[in-house]
Structure 1
Amino acid sequence: MGVTIRPQVGALPVRFDEDGTLEILLITSRRSRKWIIPKGNPMRRLAPHQAAAREAFEEAGAIGAIEGRSRGHYRHRKRKARRQIRCQVAVYVMTVERRLERFPELGERAVRWFKVDDAREVIRNRKLRELIARVSAELVSSFRPLAELPD
């Protein structure tokens, strides 16, 4: 009998600070308090990227523009009722435009902005760290500060 892998969707919430430094918004998991990205199960009537954006709102109060295509995936194990469930998370980049002070899971998780290298240090999942390194390099290489944009 094969192993069932449950699909999940996740948002990689990002922003560029005033100096043009890329930052990543991370949350802690409820039970183990590990630093992770907002993620959850696909939702009926929502495209996968829209479900990822909903998770970012519910878990971190993040609102912004989310890409329609996944930038990659990683796997993790989730504990539920004394058993482990294997999950594969499709990750969508979300450019955070603002964060709300009140959101559904406020008080259940820590929420914090990290510089990319710091985010990679606190995340335990190796595949997620590698995905963040690759995606952040792509985002930084394509970023142009407003001062450099043509008139």
Structure 2
Amino acid sequence: MMHAFRLAWAEMVLPFLKRPKRLQVAALCYRDTPAGKRVLLITSRDTGRWIVPKGWPIDGLDGPGAALQEAWEEAGVREADIESAPVGFYDYDKGLSEGLTMPVEAQVYLTRVKDLREEYPEADQRKRAWFSPEEAAALVEEPDLQAILRAL
């Protein structure tokens, strides 16, 4: 009887409970310096951990356009050259209310920053800082994002 229950759980109930991944777009903001590339990270609003600017797709904008909009709102990137194709992808679990999570896949667009503003929509809600790609990789939690950063 226990075997039948485990089999039913594994083959019918568990797949039903797993939700498909939602898509987000992310801007991997960088600048070239004499010492090499520097990567811009921001803190998340809820946990304060280091992340790259990211968000949900925006109606009327393609992936790079939506990623650039998120970079403005969350990090103050006013002008940038952004690649048209993602440089990579990473998965994470987005925390929701009441302790629930949602699986998310983020498309990462390489974004060379040309103008960074001090005043931007979420300036009072986040910290931002420049790091070497290796330092940035050590600060973010997602293994696939760490790999993307180290590949810079």
In the superposition, the TM-score normalised over structure 2's length comes to 0.85
RMSD (Å), alpha carbons:
1.0
| Structure 2 match to 1:36 | 51
Which one has the largest radius of gyration?
Answer: 2
| Structure 1 match to 2:23 | 7
**1:63-78 matches, cutoff 5 A:** 63-78=79-94
1:102 counterpart SS class: coil
| Structure 1 match to 2:10 | none
Percent sequence identity is 32
| Structure 1 match to 2:120 | 103
Is 1:130 aligned to 2:140, yes or no? no
Aligned mates of 2:97, 2:48 — CA distance in 1: 18
1:117 CA displacement: 1.4
Aligned mates of 1:47, 1:121 — CA distance in 2: 30
Over 2 Å off, 4+ runs: none
1:20 CA displacement: 4.7
Select the residue among 101, 106, 131 that pairs with 1:114.
131
Letter in 1 for 2:49: K
2:61 counterpart SS class: coil
Gaps of 5+ in 2: 1-15
Aligned mates of 2:141, 2:67 — CA distance in 1: 21
1:56-106 per-position Cα deviation (integer Å, ceiling 9, x unaligned)? 010000121111111110001111122101100000000000101110001
Is 1:22 aligned to 2:37, yes or no? yes
Is 1:56 aligned to 2:98, yes or no? no
More helix by share: 2
Gaps of 5+ in 1: 137-151
